[in-house]
Amino acid sequence: MADSPADLAAPGVETPADSTAPGVGTPADSPARFVETPGSGEVAGGREDAVWRMRGAPLIAAPGPGPLSGHTIAVKDLYAVAGFAIGAGVRDYPGDPEPEHATAVAALLAAGADITGIAHTDEFAYSITGSNGTYGMPVNPAVRQRIPGGSSSGSAVAVARGEATIGLGTDTAGSIRVPAAYQGLWGIRTTHGRISTRGQLPLAQSFDTVGWMTRDPQTLAAVSNCLLPPDTVSTHGAATAGNDHAGDVAKNAANPVAADRIDESTTVTVDLGAEFETASDAVTAEPPRLVVDTGLCEVADPPLAAAVRIAADTLNAAPVALEADLESWFMAFRTVQAYEAWRNHGPWITAHPGALTPEVAQRFAYAATITPAAADRSRRLLEAAASHLRSALTGRILLLPSTATFPPLRTANPAELEAGRTRTLHLTCLASLAGMPAVTFPLAGTDGLPMGLCLIGAPGTDQALIRAAHAAADRLG
């Protein structure tokens, strides 16, 4: 990763890499075709176009044909793209160009997809609103006067606008699920550790995952076939080792820079320290049962909760009571996430006062107050919560509202945005703290406002979860 940030030449503009470098730029016999995205136009106080940090035609072409030929990728500005520095949504952050692609980026290119460009993210991905104080807030194509959701906002809007077919993002606390739900897209947060995060700038390694958004389930599944190993779950519902490269949480937190470049041979552990089961565990033969906890649904606004209950009835989902201690679990999740975020980025932020906008700076200021003892206490609580959820959802798929609110207005005041964000995080943190995969897909909303239905499954069941979501969407019409 770029750990010696230098000055950026100009917003949204970079010098293209040498086109003769392997896997970088356009073919050597054609000129590089880079496009600076305009920043003109206003929508409710935001720039009309705040999607792309760098865009090409393509920015990087696939090295050859493959199962994803014809598809195009908007890469969230947290992934290493060879020849370009990682920006992380922060103007002063980019340093030296990355020498090689992140694992997920390289895999998509090898599968035949072209990279259209590098898309903006919320600063250090520490938000789910989709706002960036420097580059602006992208316009939500589904409802232009409402926020797009973040932190994978740029990738999501690029897909929703038809400028890419695949939005490569990350999901730590909901950064795939929220923008997908707010924009009527399909999205997946993959099982923690199932896809290597090599070359991905971390926020909180205990929860960071690779994810992507598409306009349809077929593309979502096609990407999963290229990035994910076959589904394998143990009797405890935990993913088998497979091709995981998540690494140990304690090691990651202690050495975040090294953790970002985890060796492929690292012994893999489930986030929060529980070891993966061995590959000899068989996948359960019984198909998972759809379940719904109506108490959890009530965290969402009444119209969203009602829509999920109706969907659950249509899908014959069985009622369950998960007995989730939402407030305690959320606070523990927030504490560990903040502690790791400060370990990862605190030194740079301290050395660059004023580099962040007030909203994100306030979160990092809180993160700086978390002591190791407080983080350890919260980890122990999360270990118990994760075990409880994995046990309760073995052989089951949980239905939930993807977000607690419809996309708020762009003109909403900060207090209103924060209140909605907090309630949404109470729902999204469940999959995150337990390392579970989650798929969101569009559900008919109220008054034309988009909303998402989320399916959460046992770790290691990512592909089955996509199939279950596709079947559910077909049945719901």
Q: Report, in this order, helix, strand and coil percent for the chain, each rounded to 5.
A: 35, 15, 50
Angle of helix 372-392 relative to helix 326-351, nearest 10 degrees? 140
Determine how many CB atoms are found less than 10 A away from the CB of residue 162. 10
CA distance 103 to 35: 25
Quote the tokens at residue 99. Answer: 């020498």
* Cα→Cα distances 424→24, 306, 452, Å: 39, 16, 12
The owner of tokens 């980025």 is 345
Lay out the sheet containing 438-443: strands in order across.
34-35, 52-60, 114-119, 72-76, 166-171, 209-214, 186-189, 438-443, 451-456, 396-401, 289-292, 318-319
Determine how many CB atoms are found less than 10 A away from the CB of residue 135. 27
247 in Cβ contact with 226 (< 8 Å): no
- Active site positions, annotated: 76, 151, 175
Determine how many CB atoms are found less than 10 A away from the CB of residue 44. 14
* Euclidean distance between the first and the last CA atom of the chain, given in angstroms as a whole number: 44
| Angle, CA of 216, 218 and 219, to the nearest 5° | 75
